[in-house]
Amino acid sequence: MALAVFGAEAATNRSRVAGADLPLAAPFGVQSDLQPWTGPASRRREIVLMREAGVLNWYAAEPRKRDYNEEYLKGLETLIDEIHSTGMRVMLLVLATPSWANPAGWDAPPLRMQDLGDFVGYAVRRFSSRVKHWEIWNEPDWAVFWRPAPDAHAFVDMLREAYTQGKAADPQAFFISGGLAGNNVAYLRQMYTLGARPYFDALGVHPYVFQRSPDEVHPDVRNSFHGLAELRKLMVASRDAPKPIWITEMSWPTHRRAPGATGDWAEGVSQPTQAAFLTRAYEKIQEEYPFVRVAFWYNLRDKGTNSTTAEHNYGLVQHNFQPKLAYFALQKLAQVHRSAR
């Protein structure tokens, strides 16, 4: 498992819990990178900026089969309790395979999906009083997180093990399938064909669209925001209409092009454009995609200071905590929502 921290109605000054009970009209959220070992000053500042959080790392939590790292897990419990004290709720993301489960590396799936299922059962039982929302893996349809190559059959096996053991540990737990890398209709079709439908409570999606506007209709639905509607059509056709979609990551990074850089992620957008696209994305979700229950912005804080690297520039605030225009755009959306209630 790997960590991810999420915030509902981020950039506001009022505590608000996001989760299965979040109204469809309030899908606001933001992801952060808090860990149990994050320094107290940064931790406090990030918690102030966000609304919902979640952290877990299988690699760190179970370094050997059924030999749990109590220092890490107790540190995680302390962090969750600190977050709960501000009125927030936690969602945990399952990722990062320990070497004993697959020597190929953390970014390869376990050789035996039962090992992951055993850990999910343990974790859900241990954290049942603190955590109800669990995301199983991250972008399983992309080789970066499923080496050596994506395998829908293996991912469905993973969902089956995690869901079965997790629900046995806590019937009230809510499971989101690992966020797809883009609106990957073809991969979701494989999942349904292979029998995934009973093994997740919400479909996780990461609808990254590079530099395109949320309103741009592109022939490649995987990398076009309107592809969310295509995913929904497939869910309805697969007799899965009651389930919501959770956008567990979406963003437009603000990096500039490095000399000689090419490809979809070679260049980001300006701060004004990032703010405008954020606003339009949430408006579009509320107006046109009511099946999207929650949408988390990736991420709260820039991961670094390299101005030409996408991964360092997704944040609502810069690495030094200086807010970007998108931070204030999300703050305004949340305030408008609260005043309308």
**DSSP-based three-state secondary structure for 47:** helix
Transcribe 92-156 into DSSP letters: EEE----TTT-TT-TTS--SSHHHHHHHHHHHHHHTTTTEEEEEEEE-TTSTTTSSSS--HHHHH
Q: Lowest-confidence range among 7-11, 61-65, 277-281?
A: 7-11
pLDDT at 114: 98
Nearest Cα to 102, choosing from 70, 148, 144?
148
pLDDT at 120: 98
pTM: 0.89
Measured CA to CA, the distance from residue 147 to residue 232 in angstroms comes to 28
pLDDT: which is higher, 11 or 292: 292
Average pLDDT estimate for 265-288: 96
Backbone φ and ψ of 205, nearest 5°: -140, 145
Average pLDDT estimate for 312-332: 93
Mean pLDDT of the chain: 86
Say how far residue 184 (Cα) sits from the centre of its chain.
Answer: 16
Confidence bin at 85 (pLDDT 50/70/90): confident
Confidence bin at 44 (pLDDT 50/70/90): low
pLDDT at 43: 57
**DSSP-based three-state secondary structure for 41:** helix
Backbone φ and ψ of 79, nearest 5°: -65, -45
Q: Is the sign of the CA dihedral 18, 19, 22, 26 positive or negative? A: positive
pLDDT in tens, 175-231: 999 999 999 999 999 999 999 999 999 999 999 999 999 999 999 999 999 999 999
Nearest Cα to 300, choosing from 318, 316, 287?
316
Report which DSSP code applies to 46: H
Confidence bin at 23 (pLDDT 50/70/90): very low
Q: What are the respective helix, strand and coil percentages of the chain, to the nearest 5? A: 35, 15, 50
Measured CA to CA, the distance from residue 148 to residue 158 in angstroms comes to 16
With a pLDDT cut of 90, the percent of the chain lying above it is 70
The pLDDT of residue 337 is above 70? yes
Q: Is the sign of the CA dihedral 119, 125, 130, 134 positive or negative? A: positive
pLDDT: which is higher, 156 or 82: 156
Measured CA to CA, the distance from residue 245 to residue 201 in angstroms comes to 9
Domains of the chain: 5-340 (3.20.20.80)
The pLDDT of residue 240 is above 90? yes
Average pLDDT estimate for 252-273: 96
**Three-state secondary structure string covering 236-295:** HHCCCCCCCEEEEEECCCCCCCCCCCCCCCCCCCCHHHHHHHHHHHHHHHHHHCCCEEEE
Most confident of 76-85, 129-138, 184-193: 184-193
The pLDDT of residue 47 is above 60? no
The pLDDT of residue 49 is above 70? no
Q: 80-91 as b/e, with b when 16 or more CB fall inside 10 Å? A: bebbbeeebbbb
Measured CA to CA, the distance from residue 254 to residue 85 in angstroms comes to 33
Confidence bin at 17 (pLDDT 50/70/90): very low
